């Protein structure tokens, strides 16, 4: 007789998720009451730890890093998580506030929960996500399994090509910081009746932010940077998606990626009606549209376009083989995306302390990034921009090489570096 093969934690999670997803699909009104004991199951915690570790990330307010936990022993750490959850003694710590400088001189706040909080949030997310997934709409693409930004871009392109000549480009002001927690919890309760799960989510919402040694709590928003935040944000805006499906479907086609969304309409009148409906639903959710970033875009002349998910969208003239002129929607990477790529390359190759590294080390570091950029940004209409960026990358390599060889002029190294990077297998965007 064959011995039964032991399943891995990953397989166990998949089985559980399929079961919960199927049950949620069977009955759209079912509320789940026995979920908490699944969160502290050791196989679930092991898979949660694997995913958190794969995401890397810094330490939270307790200073404990991923490598600290590996040194102390992962099993011991997860046993402790299991124990405090089972006994009901788990209390999350405030999120560590960290600021990233933005181009305009402002700072983007980031929240970094402790590793323990990230693992427990991940375990909870894995258990409740399949239940809510069955309720999410076709128009929603952000932070969802088997959904991607590329699919969202494809949906927009097709909507624009189906006589979509007007776009309502929407920006919600400070979305993650302004979610009404009470309303969010009511939306969660529509599917989850397990009081201990609800209490867990409430604890994360109340944990607050640690800034300059002081913990600050807020009645608004979700813990940014928290593993569970994107799911909670999707649950909140799913209310918008459902209402749009009921009242706005005939006006325009919605495509949403987290808190960014566009509605593609056929006429200016439809776009104005769409805006009014968006505004009304947002008022119910107690959210505000950004006054300057939310705008109408007329695509039909080809003079205007809009940026969404790192791509610029614009209608341009094209010709059939018989010479018939028509308009088609083209997508290419935005100026912001171009600048970001240049920045990453420059930050790697320009600093003096990078001169001691070998050419192969730089090529190996950049190759996965170049591959990722190509996979995402490459379209037939991005080719010119991609060629320019390829030239920029080679130029940066030539500057680095000239400095390493203590040559005064980098242009004299250009041909040599072109041959060398090719030999070392540097990937290209084009």
- Mean pLDDT per block of 10 residues along the chain (430 residues) reads 73 97 96 97 98 95 96 97 98 89 76 96 98 98 96 97 95 92 97 98 91 78 85 97 97 96 98 98 97 94 93 90 88 97 98 96 98 97 97 97 92 94 97
CATH 3.30.70.270 placement within the chain: 142-177+226-332
Residues 6+ apart with CB under 8 A from 422: none
Output the pLDDT for position 221: 82
Exposure string over 91-119, b if 16+ CB within 10 A, otherwise e: ebbbbbbeeeeeeeeeeebebbbbbbbbb
Output the pLDDT for position 224: 72
- State the architecture of 142-177+226-332 in CATH terms: 2-Layer Sandwich (3.30)
Output the pLDDT for position 2: 53
Output the pLDDT for position 256: 98
First-to-final CA distance of the chain: 56
Output the pLDDT for position 326: 84
Output the pLDDT for position 416: 96
Q: How far is CA 167 from CA 91, 334, 396, in A?
A: 45, 17, 39
> What are 366-407's pLDDT values in tens digits?
999 999 999 999 999 999 999 999 999 999 999 999 999 999
């Amino acid at each position: 007789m064959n011995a039964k093969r032991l399943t891995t934690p990953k397989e166990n999670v998949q089985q559980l998720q399929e079961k919960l997803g199927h049950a949620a699909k069977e009955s759209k009104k079912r509320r789940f009451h026995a979920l908490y004991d699944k969160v502290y199951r050791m196989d679930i915690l092991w898979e949660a730890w694997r995913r958190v570790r794969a995401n890397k990330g810094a330490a939270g307010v307790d200073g404990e890093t991923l490598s600290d936990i590996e040194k102390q022993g992962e099993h011991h750490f997860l046993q402790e998580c299991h124990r405090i959850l089972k006994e009901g003694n788990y209390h999350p710590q405030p999120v560590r506030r960290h600021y990233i400088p933005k181009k305009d001189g402002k700072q983007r706040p980031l929240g970094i929960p402790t590793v323990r909080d990230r693992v427990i949030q991940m375990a909870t997310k894995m258990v409740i996500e399949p239940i809510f997934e069955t309720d999410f709409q076709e128009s929603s693409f952000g932070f969802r399994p088997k959904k991607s930004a590329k699919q969202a871009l494809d949906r927009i392109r097709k909507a624009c090509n189906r006589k979509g000549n007007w776009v309502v480009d929407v920006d919600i002001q400070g979305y993650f910081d302004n979610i009404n927690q009470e309303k969010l919890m009511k939306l969660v309760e529509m599917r989850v009746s397990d009081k201990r799960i609800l209490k867990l989510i409430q604890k994360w919402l109340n944990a607050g932010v640690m800034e300059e040694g002081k913990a600050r709590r807020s009645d608004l928003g979700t813990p940014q940077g928290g593993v569970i935040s994107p799911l909670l944000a999707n649950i909140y805006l799913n209310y918008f998606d459902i209402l749009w499906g009921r009242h706005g479907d005939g006006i325009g086609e919605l495509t949403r990626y987290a808190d960014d969304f566009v509605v593609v309409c056929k006429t200016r009148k439809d776009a104005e009606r769409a805006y009014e409906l968006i505004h009304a639903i947002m008022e119910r959710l107690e959210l505000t549209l950004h006054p300057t970033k939310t705008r109408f875009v007329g695509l039909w002349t080809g003079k205007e376009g809009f940026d969404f998910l790192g791509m610029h969208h614009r209608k341009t003239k094209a010709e059939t083989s018989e010479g018939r002129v028509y308009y088609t929607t083209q997508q290419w990477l935005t100026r912001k995306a171009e600048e970001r790529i240049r920045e990453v390359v420059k930050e790697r190759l320009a600093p003096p302390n990078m001169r001691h590294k070998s050419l192969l080390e730089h090529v190996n570091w950049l190759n996965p990034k170049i591959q990722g950029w190509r996979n995402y940004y490459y379209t037939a209409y991005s080719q010119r921009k991609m060629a320019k960026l390829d030239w920029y990358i080679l130029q940066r390599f030539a500057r680095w090489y000239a400095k390493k060889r203590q040559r005064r002029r980098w242009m004299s190294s250009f041909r040599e570096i072109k041959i060398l990077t090719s030999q070392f297998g540097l990937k290209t965007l084009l």
